[in-house]
Structure 1
Amino acid sequence: MTYQDYDRLLSFDSVHHAIKAEKILSDAGIPAYALPTPRQIDISCGQCLLFAAAQENKLLSLLTGHKVRWAKLFSRVPAGNGTYIYEKINDYGG
């Protein structure tokens, strides 16, 4: 699976939490792709993670257990020509 196939995006309020999340997910064997946060959805800390919707519950549970604070969760759908449509699913409720 490539990052183009990932259909969830998680934004963060701090780079520290984004980096921590990436490490935790890597250690747990959950595929995720770090990239700059698209401007059209959130400024936040500037870094986000892409992942597959099938991993959403496991991923969020793991981050909660490690006290990683994320900002917003979005769905991500290809819109053609290398662009995507993002729809907010949830805000952090920690």
Structure 2
Amino acid sequence: MQTYGVTLFYSTHEAMKAEKLAKEAQLKVRIIPTPEKIHASCGFSLKFELEEEGQLRKLLQEAEVKSEGFYHVKREGLKTDYELREDL
């Protein structure tokens, strides 16, 4: 089973800005197409390591980069589940 996080953005500009900031902070992130099962304003999302979620949230908040939501993803074989995280 593979687990990771995905955060969505309102615009491509915000997604790219978030990626740049996170990489400068040496977080393991990368831009991915927004998964089809998740509806968002932007076609790009940021994939991240779950262990770094707190750091990423803080970084985006401090830089005033607006996110549409953070998801935890569980991938097992061909099945992928997305859970919106509102509790963090």
TM-score (norm: length of structure 1): 0.84
Query: Residues of 1 paired with 2:40 and 2:73: CA distance?
Result: 17
Distance apart, 1:80 and its partner CA:
1.2
Residues 19 and 6 of structure 1, relative CA distance in 2, 3 Å threshold = farther
Distance apart, 1:6 and its partner CA:
5.2
Structure 1 runs of 4+ aligned residues shifted over 4 Å read none
Matching of residue 45 in structure 1 with residue 42 in structure 2: yes
Long gaps (5+) in structure 1: none
Long gaps (5+) in structure 2: none
- Cα RMSD, aligned residues only: 1.8
**Does 1 or 2 have the higher relative contact order (CA < 8 Å, sep 6+)?**
2
Query: Residues of 2 paired with 1:27 and 1:6: CA distance?
Result: 23
Distance apart, 1:5 and its partner CA:
4.8
Distance apart, 1:30 and its partner CA:
0.5
* Equivalenced residues, count: 87
Structure with higher strand content: 2
Structure 1 counterpart of 2:84? 88
Q: Please tell me whether the aligned partners of residues 6 and 50 of structure 1 are also in contact (alpha carbons under 8 angstroms).
A: no
